[in-house]
Chains A and B, each alone.
Chain A
Amino acid sequence: MQLELREIHKSFGEKEVLKGISLKTESGSALGILGRNGAGKTTSIRILLDVFSANSGEVLLDGRPINRETVRFGYLPEERGLYPKKKIADQLQYFAQLKGMSKKDAAKAADAWLNKLGMHEYKEKKLETLSKGNQQKIQLITAVIHNPDIVILDEPFSGLDPVNAMMLEEVVKEEMQKGKIVLFSSHQMNYIEEFCDNIAILNDGQIVLQGKLAEIKHDYSRDKLVIRSQECDAIMQKYADCCDKTGEAELLMHLSSPEVKQQRMAELSQQFDLDELKVYEPKLSDIFVEYAGTKE
């Protein structure tokens, strides 16, 4: 399956929130949607989920307009929330039934997921009696209980402790292995780097960067050097206009262009006693800051 958002425009009143965004992703892979607050991520997701209708543009599945009656969506919203006063089993069954499952299948699926995540003992408990981490697990189950074709996770790791984060990682990996389309929206770059083969950076309602993460990193301008030396002060003195101190004995040197890299490396090796000298490997956060404008 291939999911595609094509030339989506959306305005609220006078404000144009999405200015013709286009995205593509496929089964078995995850697409990371990045952007600052207000960039248009949640609006894009809501259009995909048919909560909002776009002013123009199309949502396509395998090249044809998506049929929401047959395609199952699983959604973990950024704003978590279920019914605090209702029993876990009742709510899981309710949401599974709303997504088309029969009462019997919903009850079976709820049991299976609760067992899988070690939560079966809480089945008859009210949600409000659970810890925050366990409530997050229940929220995750509501997103995947009905075996969705497309899984949309909006800030899935926010507020999770490392143990629950690992559990969520496993669930997401399983869904990808089952051939589901997974969409990630997050500010936590490390998770995006771990899960997503493709990324799209939104800024002010437009896609400013999109593609395979590995290729983006490869093509990213390699114009910085990492220097580890006991002579940092001497280096700083000589190259004061292009060096930043990043550690006690570590510097980051900005080059005017990638072409001067070899010349500068030779220069440094000859003039100073260096422990290490290497080309700086870009992180996703660097790419994000460059394209989205401000460090999150």
Chain B
Amino acid sequence: MKQFQTIFGFELKSYFKNKIFLGITIFFMVLIAAVMFFPQISSLFKNGDSTKKESVLLVATKNSEDKEVVETLFTDAFPKDEIRMVDNDWDSIKKQIEDESVDGAFVLDNLTTYTYYVNNLTLSDNNTAIVDQALQKAYQLKTLQEKGMSETDASQLLVNNIVHTTKNLGKDQITNFFYTYIMIFALYMVILLYGQMVATNVASEKDSRAMELLITSAKPTSMMFGKVLASCLAGLTQIVCIFGSAFLFYQINQNSWGDNPIIASLFRIPAELLVYMIIFFVLGFLVYAFLFSAVGSLASKVEDINTSSMPVTLLFVAGFMIVIFSMTNGNVDSLLMKVCSFVPFTSPMAMFTRLAMSKVATYEIILSISILVVSAISIGILSAKIYRVGVLLYGNKPKFLSVLKSVWRA
């Protein structure tokens, strides 16, 4: 136990002194701070004149009779922008667009046909959709009036909206999607990153031959469990720092974000889900970290780690892809997801996703966690045996079957 404590302390200290570990943690905290403070920062760069319009749009109509109707229509459709009615002078319009003194121009042939001119069409430009909707409404109004309906009746007919209410008896997948996605992604990143770090750590000890001395100074089980649990705690600390800073910065800037539904939903994660996240993070981490440390012990050089750890990485990525595709398809209770919820290599992500986005029976949760606990212990014991044999193997990469034979004999 004393050896385990010494190794655990040494490894943990190494993580906390590691520049990459500190760099990644600080980078994410700064990034989150920048996002959370964005409304306040962006308001600093805004002009003090609150009446200033966001953009300037030119509108020209070939039919002078429509000019008054069109002006009203565009002013209503773009309340935040400045609408300038101009003559249909193509050279003048083109010049103003090209020298960026205006943001765009609409030239209407009639109320159903127009051309939109813009210097650089951006992905977020939805001006044509707004104009299409406004013109369609104007056309419908005009047609109804021509058919004999009064302006008031026609307007009422067109503005009549359907009112509906949704009563959700389970979980709101739309609201939960964002935080579930972020948490699954964090789980994926941390397990993969730290798993690789554990494997590299073991391989570099073999590569530098420090293992020769270590193996005669400490029990292999103490060495492996010390390393894995230290990396688990380091990963958990990193998650707490990043998520904790996000929560703190949100609290500071809550008023600035107003009622933004996506941001608000991210910080309304139920407490029980956070507890489940820690449980599945720790157990999932242990399963993969044990596998990665066994893989690391079989590599003779640090450069071999990527190829040696490929099967474990692929297994993990496959589980991640299944979960992400099921989430985006809104299919978190599919048979595949249910099966994955009980397979120890996929259950940390699959069961957690189902818990976050669906209703799961208590017995299923208990069963999934129990399988994961038993698997983590079994994989830990097997990995410790592989580790004991693997750390003394140098030269060519050993075949998996010969390693298993050696483990059996050990």
List chain A positions with a Cβ less than 8 A from chain B: 13, 46, 49, 51, 73, 75, 77-84, 86, 90, 94-95, 97-100, 139, 142
Closest to B209 in A: A81
B10 interface hit (Cβ, 8 Å): yes
Contact A81 B208 (CB under 8 A): yes
For the complex, what is the distance from the CA of A99 to the CA of B211, rounded to whole Å?
15
Interface window among B39-47, B105-113, B213-221: B213-221
Contact B210 A83 (CB under 8 A): yes
Query: 23 A-B Cβ contacts within 8 A?
Result: A46-B392, A51-B392, A73-B216, A77-B213, A77-B216, A78-B212, A79-B212, A80-B212, A81-B210, A81-B212, A82-B208, A82-B210, A82-B213, A83-B208, A83-B210, A84-B208, A86-B14, A90-B10, A95-B213, A97-B6, A98-B6, A98-B217, A142-B213
Q: Report how many A-B pairs have Cβ atoms within 8 Å.
A: 50
Closest to A73 in B: B216
Contact A98 B209 (CB under 8 A): no
Contact A81 B213 (CB under 8 A): yes
Closest to B402 in A: A13
B3 interface hit (Cβ, 8 Å): yes
Partner pick for A79 among B3, B7, B209, B214, CB 8 A cutoff: B209
Contact A98 B218 (CB under 8 A): yes
Interface residues of B toward A: which range?
Answer: 20 to 34
Contacts of B3 in A (CB 8 A): 98
Distance between B67 CB and nearest chain A CB, rounded to angstroms: 76
For the complex, what is the distance from the CA of A146 to the CA of B152, rounded to whole Å?
98
Known: A51-B392, A81-B212. 20 other contacts (CB 8 A): A46-B392, A49-B216, A51-B216, A75-B216, A78-B212, A79-B212, A81-B209, A81-B210, A82-B208, A82-B213, A83-B205, A84-B208, A86-B14, A90-B10, A97-B6, A98-B3, A98-B7, A98-B214, A100-B2, A142-B213
Distance between A194 CB and nearest chain B CB, rounded to angstroms: 25
For the complex, what is the distance from the CA of A142 to the CA of B218, rounded to whole Å?
14
Closest to A76 in B: B213
Distance between A90 CB and nearest chain B CB, rounded to angstroms: 8
For the complex, what is the distance from the CA of A49 to the CA of B214, rounded to whole Å?
12
Distance between B336 CB and nearest chain A CB, rounded to angstroms: 42
Distance between B245 CB and nearest chain A CB, rounded to angstroms: 29
List chain B positions with a Cβ less than 8 A from chain A: 2-3, 6-7, 10, 14, 205, 208-218, 392, 405
Distance between B396 CB and nearest chain A CB, rounded to angstroms: 15
Contact A80 B209 (CB under 8 A): yes
For the complex, what is the distance from the CA of A155 to the CA of B210, rounded to whole Å?
16
For the complex, what is the distance from the CA of A86 to the CA of B3, rounded to whole Å?
19
Distance between B230 CB and nearest chain A CB, rounded to angstroms: 13
Contacts of B216 in A (CB 8 A): 46, 49, 51, 73, 75, 77
Distance between B73 CB and nearest chain A CB, rounded to angstroms: 70
For the complex, what is the distance from the CA of A146 to the CA of B379, rounded to whole Å?
34
For the complex, what is the distance from the CA of A86 to the CA of B17, rounded to whole Å?
10
Contacts of B205 in A (CB 8 A): 83
Distance between B108 CB and nearest chain A CB, rounded to angstroms: 70
Contacts of A90 in B (CB 8 A): 10
Distance between A155 CB and nearest chain B CB, rounded to angstroms: 12
For the complex, what is the distance from the CA of A196 to the CA of B213, rounded to whole Å?
24
Contacts of A97 in B (CB 8 A): 6
Distance between B233 CB and nearest chain A CB, rounded to angstroms: 18
Distance between B218 CB and nearest chain A CB, rounded to angstroms: 5
User: If the complex has contacts A49-B216, A51-B215, A51-B392, are A94 and B210 also in contact, measured as CB distance less than 8 A?
Assistant: no
Contact A77 B6 (CB under 8 A): no
Distance between B18 CB and nearest chain A CB, rounded to angstroms: 10
Closest to A45 in B: B216
For the complex, what is the distance from the CA of A236 to the CA of B317, rounded to whole Å?
79
Distance between A93 CB and nearest chain B CB, rounded to angstroms: 9
Contacts of B10 in A (CB 8 A): 90, 94
For the complex, what is the distance from the CA of A78 to the CA of B394, rounded to whole Å?
14
Contacts of A75 in B (CB 8 A): 213, 216-217
Contacts of B214 in A (CB 8 A): 98
Distance between A145 CB and nearest chain B CB, rounded to angstroms: 11
Contact B209 A77 (CB under 8 A): yes
Contacts of A77 in B (CB 8 A): 209, 212-213, 216
For the complex, what is the distance from the CA of A80 to the CA of B211, rounded to whole Å?
10
For the complex, what is the distance from the CA of A73 to the CA of B205, rounded to whole Å?
21
For the complex, what is the distance from the CA of A121 to the CA of B3, rounded to whole Å?
29
Distance between A106 CB and nearest chain B CB, rounded to angstroms: 9
For the complex, what is the distance from the CA of A83 to the CA of B405, rounded to whole Å?
31
Distance between A76 CB and nearest chain B CB, rounded to angstroms: 9
Contacts of A78 in B (CB 8 A): 212
